[in-house]
Amino acid sequence: MSTLRFKMVEAAFGKKPSPVDVPGKRPSDYFGMYVFNREKMFKYLPADVYAKLINVIDTGSALDSSIADEVAAGMKKWAVEMGVTHYTHWFAPLTEGTAEKHDSFIEHDGKGGVIEEFTGKLLVQQEPDASSFPNGGIRNTFEARGYSAWDPSSPAFIVDDTLCIPTIFIAYTGESLDYKAPLLKALRAVDKAATDVCHYFNPDVKKVYAYLGWEQEYFLVDEGLYAARPDLLLTGRTLMGHDSAKNQQLEDHYFGAIPTRVAAFMKELEIEALKLGIPVKTRHNEVAPNQFELAPVYEECNLANDHNMLIMSLMRKIARNHGFRVLLHEKPFKGVNGSGKHNNWSLGTDTGLALMSPGKDFSGNLRFITFVVNTLMAVYKHNGLLKASIISASNAHRLGANEAPPAIISSFLGSQLSAVLKHISESEPENLQSIGGKKGMKLDIPQIPEILVDNTDRNRTSPFAFTGNRFEFRAVGSEANCASAMIVLNSALAEQLKEFKSVVDERIAAGEEKFSAILGVIREYIKICEPIRFDGNGYSDEWKAEAMRRGLDCETSAPLIYDNYLTDESVNMFESTGVMTRKELEARNEVKWETYTKKIQIEARVLGDLALNHIVPVATKYQSSLIDNVYKMHEIFPAEKADALTLRNVELIEAIASHTAFIKEHVDAMVEARKVANRITDEREKAVAYHDTVFPCLDEIRYHIDKLELIVDDRMWTLPKYRELLFIR
């Protein structure tokens, strides 16, 4: 009998919340205590070094290598005082997580002892043995050199006994092998382009920041039950499991009371996050049972992104202190909502202007409209690419399932802003002599309230919604590195703003008044990008047909969606903004296809194993007990009566036989499909084969396993069921 499963379920029910240490009275007492922030830089660095470093951070200017030694010494002093013994360059290679290799500060002191050492050279650059990180063929193993380089704009921090230094990771030949390097380039590009456009309105602007506020959704499961589910353990999702009779249909979980064991986990997570300077603010239950959300206050995009990477690893760690495992997979359970990571994104200036918020006067409103409309243009032109930036083998399960934005990018503006754009594009141009005597058009912008309250219930179905002072990119997956989406969005907008400026400048050069020229171009843009705007129900089938008519990218196969990175428009966009070269894009796509293949390959193997050595044996055993029963019934009853009494069991015996036969046949077929796909050498073709021929087998096999779960004696079933995984805290 399945004693393990029952033991696990019992244990999970009996668990009490773990105690949590609260370090200080108020979060402000311990916020950032593990971060080498400005306060500590000031304290631990000589005044001139501090000033130079702050200048590098604020302006993005190149680091003066002469200060590196002193910065390193200051950092080490602080870290050693905090009990730190090791340091690491902390970076985000092209996998899902972060990478680190810890070295201790210890060096020989020349007198037979050791001293703690940390030099500027070690701070600024290192050469991790990089041959085993994904690189898409940029580095062959014989020249497996890559290096990590310090990013001073994201402060160093302490985890356990280690000083972590955020770095980029690039090949010796200069190509990015990570997410941070291109993100920093994209942020620089959008800063430059947006600052130039700001100068039409506010000549004193020196820098434009992109801001990111992510909302991290996740599931928790009891770790005992998790351990009894090899599919969760190895693939991050359940590859089988019949719907629980109750799941989210009563809508009783969303914003409901947080269970005490979970509340203890959240409390500890928040305390640890605050110590690391992550300004966590919001926590609540999500729609699905055992699903939750955590969101900080938004920050500058690069820092926000590092904080998201950091919080994902913190969550994994702290969940275990509370007897949980955290599931960041986009779709761990079939039939209930999956998890996303809304990316709230906006731009703001060093002078404190919020560029995605209406201004107070005509110029401020035109500036607002300029940035919104150029964003829509960028999203329209690169809608396929934006989708490519968020698709993955795991997020593909969530997109287009009835809970998340469809695999089509569109933008929702709300009725107020839509009305403003309509008004602008429809008002009649006319010659206007009054502005400096130059020709132009009527400068007619309707009043825009400073706070756009009307968001018509915010249309939850829209993948890229305007939400009053920002856009919210909702298609991003819960497990993803947000940088992928942020690289595309910011560089696409940079390209668009550059183009906008050149067209406006041409009109001005031809004698048109500045605001009139801007408005003229905006009016054209509003018409051009019309197809990206959609305020209706993004989950409906009508929208899919309509989006196709509008020429939006409607591809649903992840390996084919990745092709968007290599179209001429995309390559031009990335190259003209200096964010990535064709060579880098090609290499990164190789990694994406390879990763896709591996993910499906692992799922197929795990499902095949479980089907043949967990499911079929248990079903067969139960079937034998039924057969036994039928025989014995015939022994004690006359044939006719026994036939009647065992009719139902005979039906079950047949049903089990047909389900197990199907499973065995299809596992064989899946293995065969894998063999065929594995022979393909081209990474793209291989990923396509996995998508088209292997992936569909998973659901077919699962269907029959889930049927067996309903038939087989509950006592015999070895794998924890959905009703157990989803409802125990």
Binding site for ligand ADP (CB under 6 A): 211, 213, 215, 282, 295-298, 344-346, 354, 469-470
Six-digit token pair at 593?
């296809």
The residue among 8 and 183 lying less far from ligand ADP, judged by its C-beta, is 183
* In the complex, minimum distance from the CB of residue 375 to Mg ion, in angstroms, rounded to a whole number: 17
The residue among 428 and 457 lying less far from ligand ADP, judged by its C-beta, is 457
Q: Which residue is nearest to Mg ion (CB)?
A: 342
The residue among 223 and 286 lying less far from ligand ADP, judged by its C-beta, is 286
- 398 in contact with Mg ion (CB under 5 A): no
Using CB distances below 5 to 8 A depending on partner kind, what does residue 33 bind out of Mg ion, ligand ADP, none?
none
Six-digit token pair at 554?
């409607």
The residue count for binding Mg ion (CB under 5 A) is: 1
The residue among 217 and 603 lying less far from Mg ion, judged by its C-beta, is 217
Using CB distances below 5 to 8 A depending on partner kind, what does residue 179 bind out of Mg ion, ligand ADP, none?
none
- Alpha-carbon gap, residue 641 to 648, rounded angstroms: 13
Helix H segments across 611-729? Answer: 616-636, 639-645, 647-678, 683-689, 695-711, 722-725
Please, how many CA atoms are within 13 Å of residue 428, restricted to the half-sphere of its CB? 2
Nearest CA to 662 out of 611, 712, 719 is that of: 611
What does the DSSP 8-state code read for residue 69? H
* In the complex, minimum distance from the CB of residue 253 to Mg ion, in angstroms, rounded to a whole number: 17
Concatenating the DSSP letter of every residue in 339-405 gives -BEEEEEEEEETTS-BTTS--SSHHHHHHHHHHHHHHHHHHHHTHHHHHHHH--TTGGGTTTSTTS-
Using CB distances below 5 to 8 A depending on partner kind, what does residue 70 bind out of ligand ADP, Mg ion, none?
none
Using CB distances below 5 to 8 A depending on partner kind, what does residue 346 bind out of Mg ion, ligand ADP, none?
ligand ADP
Per-position b or e across 521-537, b if 16+ CB within 10 A of its CB = bbbebbeebeebbbbee
- 341 in contact with Mg ion (CB under 5 A): no
- Alpha-carbon gap, residue 448 to 364, rounded angstroms: 10
* In the complex, minimum distance from the CB of residue 326 to ligand ADP, in angstroms, rounded to a whole number: 19
Using CB distances below 5 to 8 A depending on partner kind, what does residue 106 bind out of ligand ADP, Mg ion, none?
none
Determine whether 203 is exposed, middle or buried from the number of CB atoms within 10 Å of its CB (0-12, 13-18, 19+).
exposed
Using CB distances below 5 to 8 A depending on partner kind, what does residue 644 bind out of Mg ion, ligand ADP, none?
none
The residue among 98 and 459 lying less far from ligand ADP, judged by its C-beta, is 459
The residue among 149 and 465 lying less far from Mg ion, judged by its C-beta, is 465
Q: Which residue is nearest to ligand ADP (CB)?
A: 213
Six-digit token pair at 326?
């955290």
* In the complex, minimum distance from the CB of residue 357 to ligand ADP, in angstroms, rounded to a whole number: 7
Query: Which segment (37-45, 342-350, 590-598, 652-660) binds Mg ion by CB under 5 A?
Result: 342-350
- Alpha-carbon gap, residue 420 to 446, rounded angstroms: 7
* In the complex, minimum distance from the CB of residue 578 to Mg ion, in angstroms, rounded to a whole number: 31
Concatenating the DSSP letter of every residue in 412-470 gives E--HHHHHHHHHHHHSPP----TTTT------------SS----GGG-TT-SEEE-SSS
The residue among 154 and 238 lying less far from ligand ADP, judged by its C-beta, is 154
Using CB distances below 5 to 8 A depending on partner kind, what does residue 298 bind out of ligand ADP, Mg ion, none?
ligand ADP
Using CB distances below 5 to 8 A depending on partner kind, what does residue 325 bind out of Mg ion, ligand ADP, none?
none
Binding mask 356-375 for Mg ion (x = CB under 5 A): --------------------
H or E stretch at 549? helix 541-549
* In the complex, minimum distance from the CB of residue 529 to ligand ADP, in angstroms, rounded to a whole number: 21
- Alpha-carbon gap, residue 273 to 276, rounded angstroms: 5
The residue among 212 and 585 lying less far from ligand ADP, judged by its C-beta, is 212
Six-digit token pair at 214?
């992510």
Query: 207 with 350: CB under 8 angstroms?
Result: yes
CA dihedral 484, 489, 490, 494 (to 10 degrees): 140
Using CB distances below 5 to 8 A depending on partner kind, what does residue 550 bind out of Mg ion, ligand ADP, none?
none
Q: How many CB atoms lie within 10 A of CB 431?
A: 9
Residue type, 382: H
* In the complex, minimum distance from the CB of residue 176 to ligand ADP, in angstroms, rounded to a whole number: 25
* In the complex, minimum distance from the CB of residue 341 to Mg ion, in angstroms, rounded to a whole number: 10
* In the complex, minimum distance from the CB of residue 366 to ligand ADP, in angstroms, rounded to a whole number: 19
The residue among 105 and 214 lying less far from ligand ADP, judged by its C-beta, is 214
The residue among 342 and 533 lying less far from Mg ion, judged by its C-beta, is 342
Residue type, 671: V
Query: Which segment (33-41, 98-106, 339-347, 697-705) binds Mg ion by CB under 5 A?
Result: 339-347
The residue among 88 and 374 lying less far from ligand ADP, judged by its C-beta, is 374
The residue among 298 and 722 lying less far from ligand ADP, judged by its C-beta, is 298
* In the complex, minimum distance from the CB of residue 210 to ligand ADP, in angstroms, rounded to a whole number: 9
* In the complex, minimum distance from the CB of residue 419 to ligand ADP, in angstroms, rounded to a whole number: 22
- Alpha-carbon gap, residue 576 to 556, rounded angstroms: 28
Using CB distances below 5 to 8 A depending on partner kind, what does residue 337 bind out of Mg ion, ligand ADP, none?
none
- What length is written for the chain? 729
- Alpha-carbon gap, residue 600 to 158, rounded angstroms: 36
Determine whether 197 is exposed, middle or buried from the number of CB atoms within 10 Å of its CB (0-12, 13-18, 19+).
buried
The residue among 293 and 512 lying less far from ligand ADP, judged by its C-beta, is 293
- 342 in contact with Mg ion (CB under 5 A): yes
Using CB distances below 5 to 8 A depending on partner kind, what does residue 670 bind out of Mg ion, ligand ADP, none?
none
- Alpha-carbon gap, residue 80 to 472, rounded angstroms: 41
The residue among 438 and 458 lying less far from ligand ADP, judged by its C-beta, is 458
* In the complex, minimum distance from the CB of residue 352 to ligand ADP, in angstroms, rounded to a whole number: 12
Residue type, 218: Y
Query: 325 with 233: CB under 8 angstroms?
Result: no
The residue among 213 and 440 lying less far from Mg ion, judged by its C-beta, is 213
What does the DSSP 8-state code read for residue 564? G
* In the complex, minimum distance from the CB of residue 680 to Mg ion, in angstroms, rounded to a whole number: 40
* In the complex, minimum distance from the CB of residue 157 to ligand ADP, in angstroms, rounded to a whole number: 20
Query: 75 with 156: CB under 8 angstroms?
Result: yes
Using CB distances below 5 to 8 A depending on partner kind, what does residue 358 bind out of ligand ADP, Mg ion, none?
none
* In the complex, minimum distance from the CB of residue 470 to ligand ADP, in angstroms, rounded to a whole number: 4
* In the complex, minimum distance from the CB of residue 255 to ligand ADP, in angstroms, rounded to a whole number: 11
Six-digit token pair at 290?
């055992």
Using CB distances below 5 to 8 A depending on partner kind, what does residue 91 bind out of Mg ion, ligand ADP, none?
none
- Alpha-carbon gap, residue 153 to 59, rounded angstroms: 10
Q: What are the C-alpha distances in Å from 95 to residues 92, 392, 484, 623?
A: 7, 12, 11, 44
Six-digit token pair at 475?
């298609």
Six-digit token pair at 364?
């401020």
Query: Which segment (334-342, 368-376, 387-395, 670-678) binds Mg ion by CB under 5 A?
Result: 334-342
The residue among 294 and 587 lying less far from ligand ADP, judged by its C-beta, is 294
Query: 380 with 492: CB under 8 angstroms?
Result: no
Summarize as ranges the residues that interact with Mg ion (CB under 5 A).
342
